[in-house]
Chains A and B, each alone.
Chain A
C-alpha cells in the first residue's frame, strides 16, 4: 500500500472516510454473526425440549416436564445473551437472523402448553415465558408467533402417533381438535398477512391433519366392530396391538 503522505488530498480523504465505514460495517457484520450463532444454539436447544416433551408417552409427565424445565432455563440464558444484541431498532434490523430461533422456541413451548393445558399458547403466554422479572427478553413479532405455532402440527402429529402406540385414544382426540383449530385459524389469518413462508406451512399442516383423521377413522371403525361383536372389555394395551 502506498504511503499515506504521498497521496493526493482527495485520496487521503477517501482512505480516511472509508476506513471509518469499514469499522462500522465490521461491527455490524460481527453483531450479525453473533446473533446467527446464538440463534443456532437456541434452535438446537429448543429442538431438544421438543424431543424431551415427546417422551411424555414413555415417561411420567412430572419427569418429562422437569426435564424440559431444566432445558428451558438454559434457553432463557441464551435469550438473555441475545437480548443484548437486539436493543431498540436492532430488534427489527436483525429479526431476519433471530427469527428462526424465536420460532423454534415458540414451537417448543407451544407443544409444552398443548400437552399441559390442552390449548393453544397465546402471544401473551409466550412473552410471559420469555420474561425475566416481568420484562420480555426479546421482541416477538406477530410473524414470529404465527410462524412458530404453524410448525406445531408436525410435533403434535408425532405425539399423536406415539400415543396411539400406547392406546391413548384421548390424546388422538385432543390432537385432532388442536390441529383443526390451527388449520382454521391459519387459513383465516392467511388472507390478511404478508408472510410468504406461511403459505408453505399450510400443506404440511393439511397432511398432518389428514394423517390424524385417517388414524382416528380406523380407530373408530375397529371400536365399532369390537362393540358389535361384544368384546369391548379388552384393556388399552391389547387394543393398541389390534390397531
Chain B
C-alpha cells in the first residue's frame, strides 16, 4: 500500500485548478461587460419611447463585447465537461440573455427568441435534450433571462408614467399577460426556474397597480 494513488489524484486536481482559475478569470471579464451593458440599457427607464432607439443602438457594440467574452470562456470548455462547470457561469449567461431579451422588447415590443440570442450573442440556445456538441446557452438560462423581463417591465411601467407616457403601461400589461400564459404551460419542478416563476406574479401586480392608478384617475380609458 502506498500513497501513489493519491499523488496521481493530486496531480489531476492541480491541473484542473488551473482550468478553474482561467474559467473564473473569463467569467469576471464577462461579468464586467454584462454590467456595463446593463447600465447602458437601464437608461431606457428614463427616456420616452421615441428616444429608445438611442439606447438600443448604443447597446449593440456592447453585445459584441459580451459575445467576445463568452467566446473566451467557450474556448476553455469541451462539450463533454460542459455541464461539470456550467454552474460557474450560468448566472452570467442568464444576465446576458436578460439583456438581449430586454433590448429586443424595447426595439420591437416582442419576445426575443433563441434565434435573437444567437444573433446578438453568437451562441445558440439548446432547446433540445440532445447531448451538446458546442458551447451553448441552456434552455434554463434562456427562460430565466426571459423571466427577468417581467421585473424589468414592472419597473418600466412605473417609469413610463414618470416620462408622461400613460399608454405604454397598457401595452406592457397585454404583453406581460401573454408571456405569462406561456410560462403557465410549463410543468416546473422544485428548482430555480420554479422559484423565479413564482416571483412573476409580484411583477404583474406592480403593472396592474399602475394601470389601476391611471384608470381610476381617468387618464386612460
Q: Specify which chain A residues have a CB less than 8 angstroms from the CB of B113 in the assembled complex.
A: 17
* Complex interface: stretch among B31-39, B48-56, B126-134, B147-155: B126-134
* Complex interface: stretch among B58-66, B91-99, B176-184: B176-184
Say if the beta carbon of B189 comes within 8 Å of chain A: yes
> Which one of A24, A87, A181 lies within 8 Å of B127 (CB-CB)?
A24
Q: Specify which chain A residues have a CB less than 8 angstroms from the CB of B127 in the assembled complex.
A: 20-21, 24
Say if the beta carbon of B217 comes within 8 Å of chain A: no
A17 touches B182 (CB 8 A): yes
Q: Specify which chain A residues have a CB less than 8 angstroms from the CB of B17 in the assembled complex.
A: 192, 194
Distance (whole angstroms) from the CB of B186 to the closest CB of chain A: 5
Within 8 A of B (CB), among A62-115: 87-93, 95
Contact with A along B15-42 (1 / 0, CB 8 A): 0110010000000000000000000000
* Complex interface: stretch among A6-14, A41-49, A207-215, A224-232: A6-14
Q: Specify which chain B residues have a CB less than 8 angstroms from the CB of A186 in the assembled complex.
A: 6
A146 touches B9 (CB 8 A): yes
Q: Specify which chain B residues have a CB less than 8 angstroms from the CB of A196 in the assembled complex.
A: none
Say if the beta carbon of B216 comes within 8 Å of chain A: no
User: Nearest chain-A residue to B191 (Cβ)?
Assistant: A29
A122 touches B5 (CB 8 A): yes
Instruction: Determine which residue in B1, B3, B81, B181 has the highest number of CB atoms from chain A within 10 A of its CB, and name it.
Output: B1
* Cα–Cα, bound, A24→B143 (Å): 12
A14 touches B179 (CB 8 A): yes
Say if the beta carbon of B199 comes within 8 Å of chain A: no
A24 and B3 in contact (CB under 8 A), knowing A19-B185, A88-B79, A88-B80?
Answer: no
A14 touches B129 (CB 8 A): no
Distance (whole angstroms) from the CB of A38 to the closest CB of chain B: 17
Q: How many A-B residue pairs have CB under 8 A?
A: 112
* Cα–Cα, bound, A92→B85 (Å): 9
Q: Specify which chain B residues have a CB less than 8 angstroms from the CB of A18 in the assembled complex.
A: 182-183, 185-186
Q: Specify which chain B residues have a CB less than 8 angstroms from the CB of A87 in the assembled complex.
A: 131
Say if the beta carbon of A27 comes within 8 Å of chain B: yes
User: Nearest chain-A residue to B183 (Cβ)?
Assistant: A18
Distance (whole angstroms) from the CB of B89 to the closest CB of chain A: 14
Interface of A is mostly: helix
Q: Specify which chain B residues have a CB less than 8 angstroms from the CB of A17 in the assembled complex.
A: 113, 182
A93 touches B7 (CB 8 A): no
* Cα–Cα, bound, A90→B111 (Å): 30
A89 touches B182 (CB 8 A): no
Q: Specify which chain A residues have a CB less than 8 angstroms from the CB of B5 in the assembled complex.
A: 120, 122-123, 185
Q: Interface residue count for B (Cβ, 8 Å)? A: 41
A142 and B12 in contact (CB under 8 A), knowing A15-B182, A90-B131?
Answer: yes
Distance (whole angstroms) from the CB of A121 to the closest CB of chain B: 9
> Which one of A24, A122, A142, A185 lies within 8 Å of B139 (CB-CB)?
A24
A194 and B20 in contact (CB under 8 A), knowing A21-B127, A89-B83?
Answer: yes
A92 and B111 in contact (CB under 8 A), knowing A120-B1, A192-B17?
Answer: no
Say if the beta carbon of B10 comes within 8 Å of chain A: yes
Distance (whole angstroms) from the CB of A86 to the closest CB of chain B: 10
* Cα–Cα, bound, A125→B186 (Å): 44
A15 touches B13 (CB 8 A): no
Say if the beta carbon of B196 comes within 8 Å of chain A: no
A178 touches B79 (CB 8 A): no
Say if the beta carbon of A31 comes within 8 Å of chain B: yes
> Which one of A21, A181, A191 lies within 8 Å of B186 (CB-CB)?
A21
* Cα–Cα, bound, A13→B5 (Å): 57
Instruction: Determine which residue in B83, B128, B185, B189 has the highest number of CB atoms from chain A within 10 A of its CB, and name it.
Output: B185
Say if the beta carbon of B205 comes within 8 Å of chain A: no
Say if the beta carbon of A3 comes within 8 Å of chain B: no
Within 8 A of A (CB), among B156-184: 175, 178-179, 181-183
Shortest Cβ-Cβ A-B pairs, 3 listed: A88-B131, A185-B6, A18-B182
Q: A-contacting residues of B (Cβ < 8 Å)? A: 1-3, 5-7, 9-10, 12-14, 16-17, 20, 79-84, 110-111, 113, 127-129, 131-132, 139, 143, 175, 178-179, 181-183, 185-189
Q: B-contacting residues of A (Cβ < 8 Å)? A: 8, 10-11, 13-15, 17-22, 24-29, 31, 87-93, 95, 118-120, 122-123, 141-142, 145-146, 177-178, 181, 184-186, 188-189, 191-194
